[in-house]
Amino acid sequence: MSQVRVRFAPSPTGALHIGGIRTALYNYLIARQMSGTFILRIEDTDQGRFVPGAEEYIIESLRWAGILPDEGPGFGGEYGPYRQSERKDIYRQHALQMIESGAAYYAFDTPQALEQAREQAKAQGNHAFKYDALSRQQLSNSLTLGEEETRRRLDAGEPYVIRLKVNPGQDICVQDAVRGKVMFCSDELDDKILLKSDGMPTYHLANVVDDHLMRITHVVRGEEWLPSTAHHVLLYRALGWEDDMPAFAHLPLILKPDGKGKLSKRDGLRLGIPVFPIAWHGSTPEESFKGFREFGFLPQAMLNFLAFLGWNPGSEQEIFSLEELIAAFSLEQVSKSGARFDFDKARWFNQQYLHAADGASLAEWVRPIIVEHGFQPEQAQLTAFCELMKERVALLPEFWEKGAYFFTGVQTYDQPNVQKRWNATLKEGLQQLTTHLEMYWAEDATALKAAAEQFMQQHSLKPGEVFPLLRIALAGTMQGPDVFKMMQVLGCANSLARLRNAWEIFDTFASA
RNA sequence: GGCCCGUUCGUCUAGGGGUUAGGACGCAUCCCUUUCACGGAUGAAACACGGGUUCGAUUCCCGUACGGGCUACCA
């Protein structure tokens, strides 16, 4: 079997949304599984929609996700250039070749003329005007104008496009890896533009020519391409490449979390969820978006989540490393229907990865967040903090949101809960307990707890009344990790200072 | 409108001619516990509808409904 070569071919028109990342991922998985090559090709044939920085964004996203291409712009490869705008001549040459063979023709109709034809058709009750075998006879093209007039117009520099000549009456069968056989009839197909009047190819021509020249073996792309695949087959046929046409696989779309239709960047804004892998900085705040990275996702968790949107291994395992995905993935298991984006499920995946990570790795990811808030914790303390907090967070920023008091000290105490429990006798007991802890301080939470419990027993202090107050004294809140583990992370001096400070403040609550 | 694709718990899905239709997220209850989490247990929750084919259809076929995509000198 020939070397597997797959490509991810985005168009640099803005931020790449997660549907694109999923497409890239599936292509990457296939390449790795089959010891093949993963190619990045930039489809920048529409200069009207080209957005500066988009290509860099795409590559940066793939880098963060950990699925960089083997070939592509800036990555080397034998089949470049990998930007379609740099391959204009190649497309033109193939378009001309098709004119030569009669598979394509020149057309001189202006956009205005076509618009008029469309409106006319509409007025007559036709919902869609099609440039096809029937209508082309009434329009200005090399088929109706004759060779001489065509020559004359070309020489005069009149703008023209090159169109595919679709002959009616042909059945076109697309063998799709996820959908099976899909049949089309050429009667329904229009004479697609191959080469635009600015000399750039359309997607269809560029795509087919590049896939052939780059020796692509599998075309794995979104479902929105399924209808135009019929045209692509016709193109392979016209160019004499039908025998080694790539295999096709059309992926189900990713749908909005609510309502109808496919996921869009608007949904991100509307629902406060990420739809991009990393932040995109548009020209206005409304056009700028946080990504999965900024929401506090781990790349592997995002990939795992995305992999399961439209695919599953058939087993009950859900947590897959990239290596495991490579081994388990198959196009046959890709589902046919669209998958709704579920942010809760994404969070859950991330939580699983956070729980499984060790303190040192977490510290590396969490440190920037702590630093951002103006603190420079020691490595050992930060590691211990992460280890302690990791079971109560799903997203990275929650380490700060739920554990800021470790760094800032207690900002506000849960006053109602203090008032409910506080009294003079208890104060005395807690003060003595604090002194006892100072004397019998241990770096180990279990030993520390034993020391406290021993004291409490001797002085008839009940855990139910002591622990909540210790907790509030240390953290300000009733929620959080084990009291003695908190002390362990806080350290002796810090812990005792917090306790003693609280015993004084709690008195003022009681009298308030 | 035309063409193409799809439809199993709210969501992601497994399954497949005869099953108590399985798992996960979310939700609820309980257990664990000094709190919050984690973890564990339990529960509510699904085969779009109508016709066939068949001894038997959620599974196969055909319709209908609904959803989606395409229908540009955009990709």
pLDDT tens for A71-122 read: 999 999 999 899 999 999 999 999 999 999 999 999 999 999 999 999 988 8
User: How sure is the predictor about A328, in pLDDT bands with cuts at 50, 70 and 90?
Assistant: very high
Enzyme catalytic residues of A: 265
Measured CA to C1', the nucleotide nearest A475 is B35
Residue with tokens 């800021």: A404
What was the ipTM of the complex prediction?
Answer: 0.95
Closest nucleotide to residue A226 (Cα to C1')?
Answer: B4
Residue A378 has pLDDT above 80, yes or no: yes
A512 pLDDT higher than 60 = no
Q: How far is residue A134's CA from residue A187's CA, in Å, rounded to a whole number?
A: 10
Calculate what percentage of chain A has a pLDDT beyond 70: 99
The CA angle A89-A91-A92, to the nearest 5 degrees, is 65
Taking the C1' atom of every nucleotide in all shown strands and the CA of A334, the nearest one is B13
Judged against a pLDDT cut of 80, whether residue A412 lies above it is answered with: yes
CA A212 to C1' B14, in angstroms, rounded, equals: 38
According to the model, what pLDDT value does residue A1 have? 52
How distant is C1' of B9 from CA of A207, in Å? 42
Per-residue pLDDT, A122: 85
Q: Can you give the distance from the CA of residue A10 to the C1' of nucleotide B75 in angstroms?
A: 8
Return the nearest residue to B24, CA–C1'.
A318
Handedness of CA A275, A276, A278, A284 (dihedral sign): negative
CA-to-C1' span, A29 to B46 (A): 32
pLDDT of residue A305: 98
Cα dihedral across residues A27, A31, A32, A38: positive or negative:
negative
pLDDT of residue A168: 94
User: Nearest nucleotide to A481 by CA–C1' distance?
Assistant: B36
Count the neighbouring beta carbons within 10 Å of the beta carbon of residue A6: 26
Mean pLDDT of chain A: 95
A26-55 confidence digits (pLDDT tens): 999 999 999 999 999 999 999 999 999 999
| pLDDT at residue A511, rounded to an integer | 64
Q: CA of A345 vs C1' of B23, distance in Å?
A: 14
Summarize the confidence of residues A340-361 as an average pLDDT: 97
Q: How confident is the model at residue A63 (pLDDT cuts 50, 70, 90)?
A: very high
Q: Looking at the C1' of nucleotide B23, which residue has the nearest alpha carbon?
A: A316
pTM here is 0.95
DSSP alpha helix (H) spans, A156-226: 203-213
What's the CA gap between A61 and A12, in Å, rounded?
A: 13
Does the pLDDT value for residue A261 go beyond 90?
Answer: no
Average pLDDT over residues A165-187: 95
Q: pLDDT digit string (tens) for A465-492?
A: 999 999 999 999 999 999 999 999 999 9
Q: Are A203 and A145 in contact (CB under 8 A)?
A: no
Q: Would you place residue A24 in the very low, low, confident or very high pLDDT band (cuts 50, 70, 90)?
A: very high
Q: Which two tokens stand for residue A82?
A: 């990998």
Q: Which residue type occupies A492?
A: C
**What is the per-residue pLDDT for A80?**
82
Q: Residue A123's pLDDT is what?
A: 85
Q: Which amino acid is at A468?
A: P
Q: Which of strand B's nucleotides are less than 7 A from any protein C-beta?
A: 1-8, 10-15, 22-26, 34-39, 67-75
Using alpha carbons only, what angle is made at residue A67 by residues A62 and A73, rounded to the nearest 5 degrees?
60
C1' of B48 to CA of A337 (Å): 15
| Residue whose pair of structure tokens reads 């930060």 in the numeric block | A382
Alpha carbon distance A380, A372 (integer Å)? 19
Please tell me the distance from the alpha carbon of residue A343 to that of residue A59, in angstroms, as a whole number: 24
Judged by C1' against the alpha carbon of A185, the nearest nucleotide is B3
Structure tokens at A374: 């103006």
Q: Is the pLDDT of residue A510 over 70?
A: no
Query: Which has more confidence, A126 or A501?
Result: A501
pLDDT at A275: 96
Q: Please determine, for residue A504, whether its predicted confidence score (pLDDT) is greater than 90.
A: yes
